[in-house]
Amino acid sequence: MTFIHSFWNERRGASSSEYALLLALICIAIIAGGQRLGTTVNDRLSAAGTRISNAS
C-alpha cells in the first residue's frame, strides 16, 4: 500500500498518468478515424460495383 501511495504522490507518477491518458485519447481518435475510413471505402467500392454491374 505504501508503494501505491508513494507512486501516486510522486511527480513522475503524475507524468506517467498524463501520458497514459493522452495515449488513450490518441487510440480512441485512431479507432474512430479507422471506422470512418472503413465506412467511406465500403461505400465507394459498393458504388463502383453497382456502376460496373449496370454497365454490363
1-44 tens-digit pLDDT: 677 777 666 665 567 888 889 999 999 999 999 999 999 999 99
Which domain, by its residues, includes 29?
2-55
Instruction: Say what the pLDDT of residue 2 is.
Output: 78
Q: How many domains does the chain have?
A: 1
User: 17 is written with which cell numbers?
Assistant: 498518468
Q: What is the pTM of this model?
A: 0.57
Instruction: Say what the pLDDT of residue 16 is.
Output: 80
Instruction: Say what the pLDDT of residue 9 is.
Output: 67
> Given its phi and psi angles, is residue 31 left (phi above 0), alpha (psi -120 to 50 degrees) or beta?
alpha
Calpha distance 10→14 (Å, rounded): 7
Instruction: Say what the pLDDT of residue 13 is.
Output: 59
